[in-house]
Structure 1
Amino acid sequence: MRSTFALGRLEQFHPEPGLDAGRAVHSPDAVRPFVQKRTGSAGAAPADISFGPFRLLPTQFLLLEGDKPVCLGSRALEILIALLERRGELVSKQDLMTRVWPNVFVEPANLTVHMSALRRALRDGQNGNRFIINIPGRGYSFVASVDAPGHQS
């Protein structure tokens, strides 16, 4: 009787839209592509990337504003890292979705939700700050100047 009750409860469980419980197990792997890509292209991966009042520590998967951590989910951080890797270029929505949700089908609205959270955390478009632009129907581009050791922007 107890197992039937538990099974019924599990069948009723619906995770939050866009939540990929399996990703939590693989989250350290989410950082590796950035580190490997950067390491292979220009020697050592930059320890940090600064733009506006923010500093991204990609190997720690951490965004700081000054010395304070910015409250931002891992998906939004992954979007930011992907945009910074290709700063100044148009990154298609499909490329971002493939990067952030590998081997998982998600609705495009998931990208919109996490992009909105990222822009809100960066206060993009406020006080003259413009970090990310959208090309409707095509994708996004990181357009702010960046200071990364050994890289020019």
Structure 2
Amino acid sequence: MRASGSTAAFRGLAQFDPEPGLDVERAVQTPGADKPFSEKQIGSAGAAQAKVLFGPFCLLPTQFLLREGDKPVSLGSRALEILIALLERRGQLVSKQDLMARVWPNVFVEPANLTVHMSALRRALRDGRDGHRFIVNIPGRGYRFVASVEVSGHEN
């Protein structure tokens, strides 16, 4: 777990302001998908203790931790950054370039690096299995987080 990364990750969740006028068809309608994670949603007192729920998973951004039930999910920090970036803009297309700039800032990496970490993330989420669909690939353009998301103000 990275202390500085978790703080930056939470700050990104709390401060994201979606791009106005972004016109992308949604693969799945997600209630509240147009609303970013914000202190208003989680309450200013609970901002440091937010958790993000989707499917059987719980993301604890301040701890930079993903859990399934009570068990931590084994996932590298790059894959977690990808997940956080997708959750910040849930329901919207996030370009491959945006993801790479977020996960590897100021570093040139091959697009295959994103593919490898995205594959690890989807494998950990069992995306596409057991009736769960979390991330949709838009070929040549990017990815979209399509599952319902609930933001809660307390980590348990």
Measured against the shorter chain, the TM-score band is 0.7 to 0.9
Output the amino acid matched with 1:98.
A
Deviation at 1:28, TM superposition (A): 3.6
Unaligned stretches of 5+ in structure 2?
A: 17-37
Whole-Å Cα distance in 1 between the matches of residues 90 and 142 of structure 2? 13
Q: Which residue of 1 aligns with 2:117?
A: 114
Deviation at 1:29, TM superposition (A): 3.4
Q: 2:149 aligns with which of 133, 146, 149?
A: 146
Matched position secondary structure for 1:59: coil
Unaligned stretches of 5+ in structure 1?
A: 1-23
Pair 1:34 & 2:6 matched: no
Provide Cα deviations, 1:85-139, integer angstroms capped at 9, x if missing partner: 1100000000000000011100000000000000000000001110000000000
Q: Which has the higher helix share?
A: 1
Q: How does 1:1-150 map to 2 (within 5 A)?
A: 27-40=2-15, 42-43=38-39, 44=44, 45=47, 47-149=50-152
Output the amino acid matched with 2:8.
P
Matched position secondary structure for 2:109: coil
Q: Which runs of 4+ in 1 moved over 4 A?
A: none
Residue-pair matches, total: 125
TM-score, normalised with respect to structure 1: 0.75
The structure with the largest alpha-carbon Rg is 1
Output the amino acid matched with 2:91.
G
Q: Tell me if the contact between 2:3 and 2:63 (Cα under 8 Å) persists in the aligned partners.
A: no
TM-score, normalised with respect to structure 2: 0.74
Whole-Å Cα distance in 1 between the matches of residues 14 and 91 of structure 2? 20
